[in-house]
Structure 1
Amino acid sequence: MSDEDREPGPGEYRARGSIIRKMVPGEVLASVPAAREVAEAEGRRLHFDFLDDEAVLKLLRLRFLDEARLHSAGMKLGVPSALALVGLFLYWGGYVQYWESSKSQTLYYAAAGGVVALIVLLYVITLTRHWGSHPRQKVRARAAAYRKFAHAAAGGGADLPGFYPHYGPYPFAANFHADAEDLELPSEADTR
């Protein structure tokens, strides 16, 4: 059974590529004094206990769901956009450039410009909805800090798997908003 077909077990989460990974316990990471200092400092800043394994596991699972939703939105918008733009270009290359009526060409260019403007607007709305969500930014900020904590532990000699925690940094849209609500895992939200 592949990782995509099974649910993560206790202490497991999905990493990039939907591969199931085992979480390293906080006590292993905190065994390095410099890493413990990072965890405590970032924990105060982000109102989060990076040494609480249950909370960190939830964070790692939420981080994967955030990444999966963003990827899904990108595919739902990206593939149709690419097809529409290729179609506009091919139609122009095959027919429009040979039309003698400049009025017809102008109408085509106006319609094509409208389609491109609509695509750009949809991208802006989608990115604002996904990257601008304060609760999701809160998860990203905490995930970025956890990655920093794990890398400090690895740099200090802790025995960690290569590339742990198996996701990249968040170069943007990882701002901490203390007033934003905490996200819940779908299974937790259903039980309430």
Structure 2
Amino acid sequence: FCCRWLDKSLSNDTLGQFLLQLVQTLKYEPYLDNELSRFLLKRSLLNKKIGHFFFWHLKSEMNNPSISLRFGILLEAYCRGIGGHLKGLLRQVEALDKLTKLTDVLKVKKDEPLKDRMKYLCESVSQSDYVDALQNFTSPLNGNHTLGSLVADNCRIMDSAKRPLWLIWKNSDPLGHAIQPLYSIIFKNGD
């Protein structure tokens, strides 16, 4: 009854505000096939913005063994239903994998001088496989933003135990340069 009421009553904007909490509630559902899962899956497939965040909320929990099966099944069902949008999500996953590998190496190099670590960062993101993965993809933080080319010279390694990266991309929208020429994102691997 509750999920039917939510489906009738919640606009997509309102659902977006509560999506994280509803996804977290899935952890406590006793069965894999339940009304809440069906409701969230349905609304995610009907709205690209809801689906974008549904995907990332599920994906962020996949390292938790107690819920990875449940969330993995939902992720698979969602990915099977989204058609062409899957390619964009896979590009985002590939970009985050590259950034994760890069920060793993930078954590190991934490005792080296900042100048050497910055040189490594700039050289790494200039390699063709990194360039391909880290440009012209949809931002995982906002499905309305397409990140253009990475501005390696403006990127920084922040001073913190996890060595987060301050990354800057050009706006790929040719008309967007007047409004927002650059996108800045802090990428932190861990926690």
Same fold (TM over 0.5): no
Structure number with the bigger relative contact order (C-alpha 8 A, sep ≥ 6) is: 1
Higher helix share: 1
Give the shorter-chain TM-score range: 0.3 to 0.5
TM-score w.r.t. length of structure 1: 0.32
Q: Which structure has the greater CA radius of gyration? A: 1
Higher strand share: 2
